[in-house]
């Protein structure tokens, strides 16, 4: 099973790299597969690569669904 998650671009680095945020988690990823990404954009991240840009409204809906799933499973955000 594959899982790709929406993440907000927090920083653009050199060599087609960026720092993204999902909640309080920050991770360095590659932007090599997506053009014209800016700080504040949302991207779909899969195995360390941004694979597509995502509309902010769609990102918010997806992240809300993940939060709902966590709540239903009894996980608390810590």
Instruction: Tell me the domains of the chain and their CATH numbers.
Output: 5-72 (2.30.30.140)
Find the largest Cα–Cα distance for the chain. Answer: 40
Distance CA 2, CA 56 (A): 22
Q: What is the pTM of this model?
A: 0.84
**Each residue of 24-67: pLDDT tens digit?**
899 999 999 999 999 999 999 999 999 999 999 999 998 899 88
Distance CA 75, CA 5 (A): 18
β-pair type (17-22, 49-54): unpaired
Distance CA 46, CA 67 (A): 19
- Structure confidence at residue 37 (pLDDT): 97
3-class secondary structure, 74: coil
């Amino acid at each position: 099973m594959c899982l790709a998650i929406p993440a907000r671009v927090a920083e653009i680095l050199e060599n087609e790299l960026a720092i993204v945020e999902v909640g309080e988690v920050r991770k360095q990823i590659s932007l090599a597969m997506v053009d014209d990404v800016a700080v504040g954009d949302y991207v779909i991240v899969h195995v360390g690569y941004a694979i597509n840009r995502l509309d902010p409204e769609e990102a918010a809906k997806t992240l809300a669904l993940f939060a709902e799933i966590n709540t239903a499973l009894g996980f608390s955000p810590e």
